[in-house]
A and B are shown apart, each in its own frame.
Chain A
Amino acid sequence: MTAGMASKARLFAMAMVAGLLTGCAASPSFLQAAGPVAAEQRHLFWLVIAALMVVVLPVFIGLPLVLWRYRRGNDKARYDPKWDWNPRLEFVIWGVPVLIVVLLGIQLWHSTQTLDPYKRLDGNGTITVQAVGLDWKWLFIYPDQHIATVNRLVIPAGRPVHIDLTSDTVMQSLFIPRLGGQIYAMAGMRTQLNLKADRPGSYFGENTQYNGEGFHKQNFRTLAVTDAAFDGWVKRVKASGSPLNEARYRTLAKKSVPDAPMEFSAVPEGLFARIIAKYMQPERRGKEGGQ
């Protein structure tokens, strides 16, 4: 019965891995990487799992064997109720996990440095985006293009994207699984995320930190487009004649789930910095939060 159970567990584990391989095909998964960061994360994911098999497989194989051989009723097996120590075995069962952790630790240190979300990515023409977490939407400001969007992040494919994040409400977390991610956005503070899309496409983005009733609806599309298409899009937005002014921002900052993405032809200079700075002013009172 127990050996059967262990094999059942293995079956589930295999089903799970198979699911990861097939089921994620159409989903916003880092395993369907569309950028260099997510691709490295996917590589690391399988590497760590492979390394851990050295520790895990002996348990999955050894446990059923031990249980079967030393089951009560099997008088052929040796019974030694006082046997409770073997220095050589002890060396192995400490040594192998230590070795694995040392190797994984070196790998971890290295990959944490190279995949640091704050590290600028290689490549020319970095595009800067300022993301503001609101209830329950993301505002993306393009400081160099002087435009802004809500719930739509348009980026040029193949160029590094540098995102500065803050929140004008509670804590949120920006995550675009197929490109990599994620980092918290907190009021009064600036955090950073660097991503890149390899090729044009539409990638799902979301907030992963619970922030109330509209949380599950707070998602957006990241559209990676060619350079030419990006420039064309910027021009089109600028010409749309619908600027984001302070009054409009105040409305935007109120709790709501927008029906559709929005685009703004202009943004007040220094809006992002002001959103951060207003939490530093001594006269602000807590009860006005988010306005």
Chain B
Amino acid sequence: MTVQSAWFWAIGRIDLHSFAFVRAWEDPSLDKMIAAGAASLVVLGAIAVFAIITKLRKWRYLWQDWFTSVDHKKIGIMYVILSGIMLTRAVIEAVLMRMQQAVAVNQPGIVAPEHFGELFSTHGSIMIFFMAMPFLTGIINYVMPLQIVARDVAFPTLNSISLGLTVSGAVLLMISLVVGKFSTGGWSGYPPYTEMAFNSGVGPDYWIWAVTLSSIGSTMTGLNFAVTIYKSRAPGMHLFRMPLFCWTALCTSILMIFAMPPLTVATLMLALDRYLDFHLFTTDLGGNMMNYANLFWLFGHPEVYILILPAFGVYSEVISTFSAKRLYAYRTLVYATMVIAVLSFTVWLHHFFTMGQNANINGFFGIATMCVGIPTGVKVYDWILTMYRGRVRFTVPMLYAIAFLVTFVIGGMTGIILATPPLDYVVHNTLFLVAHFHNMLIPGLLYGMLAGYQFWFPKAFGFRLDETWGRISFACWVVGFYLAFMPLYVLGAMGMPRRMAGVFQGEYLPWLIIACIGAFILLAALGALFVQLVISIRRREKTRVPAGDPWDGRSLEWAISSPPPEYNFAVIPCVEDRDPFALRKEQGRAYQPPHAYEDIEMPKNSVLGPVLCIVGAAAGFALVWHIWWLAILSFLGILAAVIVSSFSRDTHRVIPASEVARTHEHWLRTVAEARAIPRELETRSANEGLAESAV
């Protein structure tokens, strides 16, 4: 064995030039320095986090109370934290790209074209798979079991494994900043560009394994949520009494179950091409990339609704709560959600109208796409009618809902334009398309999740978020959005393609500068969000809502303490109405002590999630760099971990009735001592989480 082959055996394709620092050392250009700066942020950040945890001696606490926890609430919070970290990275990348295009008009700009390719690929992949998906999965995880009055999700350990796999994918993306380069093939990773013949580096492999890990996690999340909603509802919680958020969670879960596997299959087939010289999507030997396009968008289009439906659920809760009124046309909203979920599987071809199908096929998919607009439009009107004859309060979540309604309608309009094949031919692959999907996903996902975060934060942590900084952040998200993306519509209509590392049309410049300013305002919005969090934590003593109902809520998650006990409900109530908590407050029986308490059985912690997270990331890294011994070891590790853990019989522990009673009665005393406040004082420190309507 030569020295070289021994090296390859040990560390695969890694060499000195794989490291961003070495590349910057040899060629200290601005482009390489930016890459090295990003890499050092990752490394220093990781070191700092490790050092702080070690200094505070919090490893045991984190391991026992968080990493190995299977409590849906803690898993939900961890998902949202992951999403926040990844959002930060992807927004910074977006600002870099906007700067590049504003600067690189007839000149080189600040990053090299290849680096620009990495930027738009990581930005898209992160925003979809590691920002949006974790954010909505986190919020559903936290809220849905509380709303249907369950003690946990149906498969708590599986939930922890899903989180672990998502994190391992995110870890791969972070490592790619330090070691190697990421794909330049965009978030959709279209072959043949991502095939070995055209991209033999590690980039596409990083993309493949990061996406594969997270897609497997999401499939299992979908199964978990759907079974939870079908099987774990409280007595009396008929499907048509579920809060609308649970309906959207159910539709999203069903979409995840059916839409994520095509993605996993597509990425694994691409891996077969790259690793084992298959010719599934290559240009030659019978490969055909059109099969990839079909598979990918068979996932990709339902994915849009996976992302948007939960936000629709959040808006339904928020608008109803802050209009102090029942949701208008609940059944219509449910049917509209279901119709959208079904139709989402019938429109995938509109992502490639320009691939040369005949006019009948394009026409069919164009009309199918327009049909999605019907239930969506109906929903918008239903939400406005929910405010009609209500008493609207302009809190931060409500502001997001209003901004959503206005902005989403504009996005819907451009969506119909893109759905018309002859118009798609002239705006496809241009910035018009980029503007359109940001116009759907920023209001239709990000605003929704942020509204949900502001809305349920007091439930999760027992204190409210700062109102002023919430409004500042909101204003920046909205102004930034319009400045950043309206110019892209214009640029797209002016024929500017997406993914341009440089621009040679001077007339694009003014619009690119406006868009760049918008990107900075969006960065400020993100900053304000973090300022809000820090300030809120500092002032938490003044904003505590221990009684648990800060917003005069209507569904049952507001009927328990904030934060809720591990088992959620001391006694599972019987549900008698669609707005059960509102009804109870009206009838003056919101805080009645139960007749008797019983022992509660809860799932024990499991190490399987964090173990699979570490081993999964190791497997991905080994495959990316062709470190075969580590890949084999990791796969054996996964197999062993699953088999060994399946022998464990001791998976539950019992919380005695006496302890439940003690905790619950302590909380009931807190409620009794709290001051019931009118809605005018909702955002003041007088709000202890007890609404006037309850007494």
B394 contacts A214, CB within 8 Å?
A: no
Of A143-151, A172-180, A242-250, the stretch lying at the interface with chain B is A172-180
A286 contacts B326, CB within 8 Å?
A: no
B378 contacts A214, CB within 8 Å?
A: no
Decide: A216 near B417, CB < 8 A? Known: A56-B409, A118-B356: no
In the bound complex, CA of A112 to CA of B325 (Å): 45
In the bound complex, CA of A270 to CA of B494 (Å): 36
B390 contacts A208, CB within 8 Å?
A: no
B410 contacts A287, CB within 8 Å?
A: no
A59 is contacted by which of B327, B403, B409 (Cβ under 8 Å)?
A: B409
In the bound complex, CA of A93 to CA of B413 (Å): 17
Residues of B within 8 A of A36 (CB): none
Residues of B within 8 A of A288 (CB): 197
B359 contacts A113, CB within 8 Å?
A: yes
A67 contacts B423, CB within 8 Å?
A: no
In the bound complex, CA of A217 to CA of B106 (Å): 11
In the bound complex, CA of A187 to CA of B288 (Å): 9
A27 is contacted by which of B325, B407, B505 (Cβ under 8 Å)?
A: B505
Residues of A within 8 A of B393 (CB): 72
Residues of A within 8 A of B412 (CB): 56
Query: Which residues 84-105 of A have a CB within 8 angstroms of B?
Result: 84-86, 89-90, 93-94, 97-98, 101, 104-105
Residues of A within 8 A of B373 (CB): 97, 101
A23 is contacted by which of B279, B413, B511 (Cβ under 8 Å)?
A: B511
B197 contacts A290, CB within 8 Å?
A: yes
Decide: A108 near B374, CB < 8 A? Known: A67-B392, A180-B426: no
Residues of A within 8 A of B285 (CB): 282, 284-286
Decide: A112 near B362, CB < 8 A? Known: A24-B493, A41-B425, A184-B354: yes
A97 contacts B425, CB within 8 Å?
A: no
A101 contacts B371, CB within 8 Å?
A: yes
Shortest Cβ gap from B511 to chain A (Å): 7
Residue A188 at the chain B interface, CB threshold 8 Å: yes
B330 contacts A5, CB within 8 Å?
A: no
A72 is contacted by which of B363, B377, B385, B392 (Cβ under 8 Å)?
A: B392
Of B45-53, B174-182, B184-192, the stretch lying at the interface with chain A is B184-192
Per-residue interface assignment for chain B, residues 353 to 383, with 1 indicating a CB less than 8 Å from any chain A CB and 0 otherwise: 0111011001100110011011001101110
Closest to B502 in A: A216
Query: Which residues 237-281 of A have a CB within 8 angstroms of B?
Result: 279-281
Closest to A181 in B: B425
A79 contacts B420, CB within 8 Å?
A: no
Decide: A210 near B117, CB < 8 A? Known: A6-B406, A63-B405: yes
In the bound complex, CA of A29 to CA of B426 (Å): 9
A79 contacts B429, CB within 8 Å?
A: no
A81 contacts B490, CB within 8 Å?
A: no
Residue B482 at the chain A interface, CB threshold 8 Å: yes
Residue B67 at the chain A interface, CB threshold 8 Å: no
Residue B8 at the chain A interface, CB threshold 8 Å: no
Residue A198 at the chain B interface, CB threshold 8 Å: no
Q: Which residue, A66, A89, A208, has most C-beta atoms of chain B within 10 A?
A: A208
A56 contacts B382, CB within 8 Å?
A: no
Residues of B within 8 A of A12 (CB): 482, 486
Dominant SS among interface residues on chain B: helix
Residue A130 at the chain B interface, CB threshold 8 Å: no
Shortest Cβ gap from A254 to chain B (Å): 13
In the bound complex, CA of A94 to CA of B362 (Å): 26
Residues of A within 8 A of B323 (CB): 70
B501 contacts A215, CB within 8 Å?
A: yes
B494 contacts A101, CB within 8 Å?
A: no
Per-residue interface assignment for chain A, residues 101 to 128, with 1 indicating a CB less than 8 Å from any chain B CB and 0 otherwise: 1001100110111011111000000000
Per-residue interface assignment for chain B, residues 489 to 505, with 1 indicating a CB less than 8 Å from any chain A CB and 0 otherwise: 11001110111111111
B495 contacts A212, CB within 8 Å?
A: no
Shortest Cβ gap from A287 to chain B (Å): 6
A188 contacts B284, CB within 8 Å?
A: yes
How many of chain B's residues have a CB under 8 angstroms from any CB in A?
110
Query: Which residues 200-240 of A have a CB within 8 angstroms of B?
Result: 204, 206-217, 219
B423 contacts A183, CB within 8 Å?
A: no
In the bound complex, CA of A40 to CA of B382 (Å): 36
B367 contacts A109, CB within 8 Å?
A: yes
A70 contacts B382, CB within 8 Å?
A: no
Residues of A within 8 A of B196 (CB): 286-287
Shortest Cβ gap from A269 to chain B (Å): 23
In the bound complex, CA of A188 to CA of B287 (Å): 10
Decide: A215 near B354, CB < 8 A? Known: A9-B482, A62-B384: no
A90 contacts B193, CB within 8 Å?
A: no
Residues of A within 8 A of B494 (CB): 23-24, 27-29, 177
Per-residue interface assignment for chain A, residues 27 to 63, with 1 indicating a CB less than 8 Å from any chain B CB and 0 otherwise: 1111100000010110011001100100110111011
Residues of A within 8 A of B430 (CB): 208
Per-residue interface assignment for chain B, residues 422 to 444, with 1 indicating a CB less than 8 Å from any chain A CB and 0 otherwise: 11011111100000000000000
Shortest Cβ gap from A278 to chain B (Å): 8
Shortest Cβ gap from B284 to chain A (Å): 5
A118 contacts B394, CB within 8 Å?
A: no
Residues of B within 8 A of A84 (CB): 325-330, 386
B193 contacts A212, CB within 8 Å?
A: yes
Residue B388 at the chain A interface, CB threshold 8 Å: yes
Closest to A83 in B: B389
Per-residue interface assignment for chain B, residues 299 to 343, with 1 indicating a CB less than 8 Å from any chain A CB and 0 otherwise: 000000000000000000000000111111110100000000000
Residues of B within 8 A of A72 (CB): 324, 391-393, 679
B422 contacts A40, CB within 8 Å?
A: yes
In the bound complex, CA of A30 to CA of B430 (Å): 12
In the bound complex, CA of A37 to CA of B565 (Å): 65
Residue B71 at the chain A interface, CB threshold 8 Å: no
Residues of A within 8 A of B279 (CB): 286
Decide: A1 near B394, CB < 8 A? Known: A9-B482, A85-B328, A181-B426: yes
B502 contacts A217, CB within 8 Å?
A: yes
In the bound complex, CA of A23 to CA of B113 (Å): 27
Decide: A105 near B370, CB < 8 A? Known: A72-B391, A81-B325, A118-B356: yes
Decide: A41 near B501, CB < 8 A? Known: A85-B329, A289-B284: no
Can you report 9 A-B residue pairs in the complex whose CB atoms are below 8 A from each other?
A: A23-B490, A44-B420, A48-B423, A55-B409, A79-B324, A80-B389, A104-B370, A116-B358, A183-B354
Q: Which residues of B contact A (CB under 8 A)?
A: 112-114, 117, 184-186, 190, 192-193, 195-198, 273, 277, 279, 282-285, 287-290, 323-330, 332, 352, 354-356, 358-359, 362-363, 366-367, 370-371, 373-374, 377-378, 380-382, 384-394, 399, 402-403, 405-407, 409-410, 412-413, 416-417, 419-423, 425-430, 478, 482, 486-487, 489-490, 493-495, 497-505, 507-508, 510-511, 679
Query: Which 5 A-B residue pairs are closest in the complex by CB-CB distance?
Result: A289-B197, A208-B429, A177-B495, A115-B422, A187-B283
